Amino acid sequence: MRTEYAEQPSPVRTTATQLSTERVLVVDDEPDIVALVAYHLAKAGYRVATAANGQDALGLARRERPAMVVLDLMLPGLSGWDVLEQLRNDDATRDVAVLMLTARKEEADRIRGLSLGADDYLTKPFSPQELVLRVGAILRRVGAAGVAASDMLSIGAVQIDRAAHRVSVDGTEIELTPTEFKLLLMLAERRGRVQARGHLLETVWEAAPDIQTRTVDMHIQRLRTKLGPAGELIETVRGFGYRLRAGQARTA
């Protein structure tokens, strides 16, 4: 079962965000939360669909391919963890952006969500305005990654196709989330230069530089794992940030 919300265009104020046709799927078993989130997203111009459990959410995501899923963790049946993992393991949905929205505030839960491939993590109670801003920031960076320059960037064994949004190591393609791709591309384009955690938060996550620096560390750790031996190209500069080694880089 799903509910869809659509806000009528305002005769007073129309902005680029309000005119967006991007679809957002809101998954939560609390009707009041669903109504609140759906209302503010629809008011901002997004097309909003909803689901109250994990199984319905997966079915909708596979059929309708939303740009983003706003996902609660504590769902009946399949948990939010299970939904996130299945989204990331399915070719049809692996690139869908995911914002976790949950009452679970523990750092371990935040780290687990980011490790499984969530693009951001927001805890309840929350500001609806902040949620809308985070949704917009995630979708902007995902879109920016998708329309990047058309040349191929190679660094050692790593090849980055900026137009096709693909990464391969020694000719074998690896699967990255949109945030991981954006992070790797930024490090590659600024190879040899140290990137502070705060700067990465501002540019990749579009977040204030003084919050959630652990987010960067967890994404770097997952990125290194996916790159395999080539992950050694990403160097930690203790107390400051990260750098991608500059040697043997070329563009085509």
Q: List pLDDT tens digits, range 144-172.
A: 544 444 467 888 889 998 878 889 999 89
In angstroms and rounded to an integer, the radius of gyration of the C-alpha atoms of the chain is 18
**Tens-of-pLDDT digits for all 252 residues of the chain?**
444 444 433 332 323 333 446 899 999 999 999 999 999 999 999 999 999 999 999 999 988 889 999 999 999 989 999 999 999 888 788 889 999 998 888 888 888 888 888 888 999 999 999 999 999 988 887 765 444 444 678 888 899 988 788 899 998 999 999 899 999 998 998 888 888 888 888 888 876 655 567 888 999 999 999 999 999 999 999 888 899 986 544 444
Q: How many residues does the chain have?
A: 252
SS3 category, 169: strand
Q: Which residues are bridge partners to 153 per DSSP? A: 160, 251
The string of DSSP letters for 89-152 reads HSTTTTTSEEEEEES---HHHHHHHHHTT-SEEEESS--HHHHHHHHHHHHHHHHHHHT--SSE
In which element (H, E) is residue 188 found? helix 178-189
Tokens linked to 60: 């909708």
pTM as predicted: 0.57
CB-facing half-sphere around the CA of 55: CA atoms within 13 A = 3
Measured distance CA(2)–CA(25) in Å, rounded: 10
